[in-house]
Structure 1
Amino acid sequence: MTPSTEVLNWTDRVLEVEVGAVAHGGHCVARHEGRVLFVRHALPGERVRAVVTSDQGGSFCLADAISVLEASPDRVPAPCTWARAGGCGGCDFQHVAPAAQRSLKTAVLREQLSRLGGVESEVVVEELPGGPLGWRQRIRLAVDEDGRAGLRAHHSHDVVPIADCLLAPSEMLPDLLEQSWEPGSEIDVAVDDSGWRHVGTGTHQHAAGRDWALSPGAFWQVHPALADTLVGVVEEWAQAPRGGTAWDLYGGVGLFAAVLAGQVGTDGSVTVVESSRDAVLDGERALRDLPQVRFRVGRVEHAVGSLPTPDVVVADPPRKGLGKQMIEALVAAAPQRLVYVACDPAALGRDVGLLTARGYRLRALRSFDAFPMTHHMESVALFTL
């Protein structure tokens, strides 16, 4: 192979770089010899030595900062010993002061909205109560080939054995991490509102003024303050008319349907569409006192064509967002108001562009730091015709 056709591969090379702006995904951008490096464990303005961890031979590669030559004033010691290059992949920002974490997320969200959605926004990622540690109510542990439980490395199936996770409430994990488990298995651990721990079983939570009995694996927000925070925003923005029709898409157990039901009243209707049959059964039990709420089991894109014409839609899709096909279906249904709950700023930015191109206006936007120490955030957008 001649030099001109040889595939470039910098894997395992250690490079000294100046770190630039934060990027979506928990990285910061650096450049070396005409190529882009997406560097974890770094901060804008720093000078670091970084080891290349993945290189597919294109215009960019991935790297981890392994030593800091010039530190940002926002850098702090990571409280967790496993939050480092080559360590646990769960936390991107333990080396960043909490207020600066929110500033980085705000910069990412605004950049994605501008670049992908064509919208300039003054949105700020808001702090939730509870602090940066001890907030995570649900964790899925992975078990390695030796039967040791831990968390996965960044973008890897490799299991990193740990002694604790500081994002979880104290006493949630240590004894489980000392036990031996079936190699290759996974362990779902959750803490309910009463502080009781559940291992591989369902839990009980309280939100929207009612109790929810959840089946094992049923979706629920991992930050204890987020469910009611989102309920409050949906309640304020949905404004479903009395006697009207509402959709709760990707609705899970019907958390938002409980709010919508109160707005439309017994003369209105709320249809929840959810692909998980267990979640639907949980929701039907929790909302059995609301006859105006009906559940549909199935994929949202298959169900919307047969639903009654909505006045209001609330949509909480998975990380990939709504996408073109789903947005076309929503545009055809023409709800006056769409409340969109988004957990990925890039997907939100893309969908903002698609919706505004089809006549909807972005009326309001809020974002919450529901995942401290990581690059993740939760946003809610209101669109109207």
Structure 2
Amino acid sequence: MQHETEASLVGHEYEVEVGPVAHGGHCVARTEAGRVLFVRHALPGERVVARVTEGESTSRFLRADAVRVLDASKDRVEAPCPFSGPGKCGGCDWQHAKPGAQRRLKGEVITEQLMRLAGLTPEEAGWDGTVVPADGDKLPAGEVPAWRTRVQYAVDAEGHAGLRKHRSHDVEVIDRCLIAAPGVTELGIEKREWPQMASVEAIAASGSGDRQVILTPKPGGRLPIVELDKPVSVLRIGEKDKQVHPVHGRAFVRERADGRTYRVGEGGFWQVHPQAADMLVKAVMQGLMPRKGDMALDLYCGVGLFAGALAERIGDKGAVLGIESGKRAVEDARHNLKDLERVRIEQGKVEQVLPRTRIEEADIIVLDPPRAGAGKQTVRHLASLGARRIAYVACDPAALARDLKYFAEEGYKPVKLRAFDFFPMTHHVECVAILKPVAKEA
């Protein structure tokens, strides 16, 4: 029941001047009365009519969509995807912006987060201010890179596949996702019905050609007869145990990066852009500069991507410890790196496992934490190990900035930061920060 002083403002429209971009795929605007709006489908400097999608009269801010553009930015283009726009699919934030403008907006978000949360200018963070497109993604305006190798489709009540609307459980039924990789599109998930399914996930591994479909039935739902090409593995999520059960083919896909093959089971993390894994390994290794005999840590190691790359470079006299919380990911990591005797993978949360190892020193460290970041406790522990270099891989610039502030408090500063646009058309961006102890500049 709403409080008597609250009144929903959903549906109200305001004519506003659009201000700067904000973290999350929207821009900031203010009504004439000074109310803050977070507006999607707008660009800085535009004048638009914004329709409220969330918020009450007592809310600190309102969420809104730009439903009419009165004065357009020079960076605006017509969205290539017919399912992109106010009230439609929530997957892409910047379909209406030129590719170069998308990267510039992401750069502005990184700059703002670094300054506000870490107190760092781009120069102080070792960043030149550019967001680099992935190899092959620098396309003209109006052309969409087909990069997403994993797409999770929601299924509506009639069994049609689609994608969720922004901040909603409602399904936007589609006939094609433009950012889906060719291998995903060829599976034809959108072209058939999925009765009694809650979701259908399609995976097209970029390095091996493996394809996989993962079905999650609704409560009591029965699996449909899946008639896909024989090379496609089909799995289902068990209704009671929530575990993966192979229906046809392998329970994993094979990915390639840095000259190695990695097995990735359902639930295991792998970068969704086909170029991301190789480009990140290159950036991390260039930043860490591993030496023969190094003691290295790979935290939040997933299926072992960075651990494998480190082990190849530090040689037989070095050692790598990887820590990962996911049970299946740990099994995959141990399988993937079984030929590397100097690699050990431990299962558990980093903040719990790392103290138990009683490791007191490390030469180099890479951490690739989840979206929430590593946190102050873990950062403090890592700084105490005296590593000469730390590589922080971040999928969220706000979490990165918060953790950089914690590192600064412990005597580490970034000397190099790189930003990559592995998620075109969305607000997401990947960063790699290289840190060194302040007292050891050499």
Shorter-chain TM range is over 0.9
Mapped contact 1:143–1:185 kept (Cα < 8 A): yes
Shift of 1:59: 2.3
Mapped contact 1:202–1:217 kept (Cα < 8 A): no
Asked if residue 155 in structure 1 is aligned to residue 167 in structure 2, the reply is yes
Paired position in structure 2 for 1:178:
191
Give the one of 372, 377, 380 matched to 1:320: 372
RMSD: 1.7
Q: How does 1:131-170 map to 2 (within 5 A)?
A: 131=137, 132-170=144-182
Q: Secondary structure at the match of 2:188?
A: helix
Mapped contact 1:78–1:95 kept (Cα < 8 A): yes
Which runs of no fewer than 5 residues in structure 1 stay unpaired?
none
- Distance in 2 (alpha carbons) for counterparts of 1:350 and 1:171: 37
- Distance in 2 (alpha carbons) for counterparts of 1:171 and 1:350: 37
1:245/1:167 Cα in 2 relative to 1: closer, same or farther (>3 Å)? same
1:44/1:50 Cα in 2 relative to 1: closer, same or farther (>3 Å)? same
- The Cα offsets for residues 132-152 of structure 1, whole Å up to 9 and x where unpaired, read as 421111111112232222111
Asked if residue 370 in structure 1 is aligned to residue 422 in structure 2, the reply is yes
Shift of 1:179: 2.2
Shift of 1:187: 1.8
Q: How does 1:100-111 map to 2 (within 5 A)?
A: 100-111=101-112
More displaced, 317-326 or 305-314? 305-314
More displaced, 36-45 or 192-201? 192-201
- Distance in 1 (alpha carbons) for counterparts of 2:351 and 2:305: 20
Paired position in structure 1 for 2:212:
198
Mapped contact 2:84–2:90 kept (Cα < 8 A): yes
Shift of 1:105: 0.4
TM-score by length of 2: 0.83
Paired position in structure 2 for 1:43:
43
- Distance in 2 (alpha carbons) for counterparts of 1:9 and 1:355: 43
- Distance in 2 (alpha carbons) for counterparts of 1:371 and 1:81: 19
Asked if residue 207 in structure 1 is aligned to residue 206 in structure 2, the reply is no
The one-letter code matched in structure 1 to 2:11 is: D
Paired position in structure 2 for 1:95:
96
TM-score by length of 1: 0.95
- Distance in 2 (alpha carbons) for counterparts of 1:111 and 1:6: 35
Mapped contact 2:210–2:254 kept (Cα < 8 A): no
The one-letter code matched in structure 1 to 2:101 is: A
Asked if residue 189 in structure 1 is aligned to residue 188 in structure 2, the reply is no
- The Cα offsets for residues 56-97 of structure 1, whole Å up to 9 and x where unpaired, read as 432211000111111000000101011111111100000000
Mapped contact 2:153–2:199 kept (Cα < 8 A): yes
Shift of 1:171: 6.3
Q: Secondary structure at the match of 2:290?
A: coil
- Distance in 2 (alpha carbons) for counterparts of 1:41 and 1:195: 35
Mapped contact 1:340–1:382 kept (Cα < 8 A): yes
Mapped contact 2:149–2:183 kept (Cα < 8 A): no
Give the one of 296, 301, 307 matched to 1:257: 307
Q: Matched residues, percent identical?
A: 46
Q: Secondary structure at the match of 2:104?
A: helix
Paired position in structure 1 for 2:11:
12
- Distance in 1 (alpha carbons) for counterparts of 2:195 and 2:110: 40
In the comparison of the two structures, how many residue pairs are matched? 382
Mapped contact 2:102–2:425 kept (Cα < 8 A): yes
- The Cα offsets for residues 170-195 of structure 1, whole Å up to 9 and x where unpaired, read as 46247211322254522221112244
- The Cα offsets for residues 9-37 of structure 1, whole Å up to 9 and x where unpaired, read as 42110111110111110001110011110
Mapped contact 2:321–2:344 kept (Cα < 8 A): yes
Shift of 1:196: 4.4
Shift of 1:264: 2.4
- The Cα offsets for residues 322-343 of structure 1, whole Å up to 9 and x where unpaired, read as 1122212222333222100000
Paired position in structure 2 for 1:60:
61
Which runs of no fewer than 5 residues in structure 2 stay unpaired?
123-127, 138-143, 215-250, 438-442
Shift of 1:127: 1.1
Q: Secondary structure at the match of 1:172?
A: helix
Paired position in structure 1 for 2:231:
none
The one-letter code matched in structure 2 to 1:172 is: V
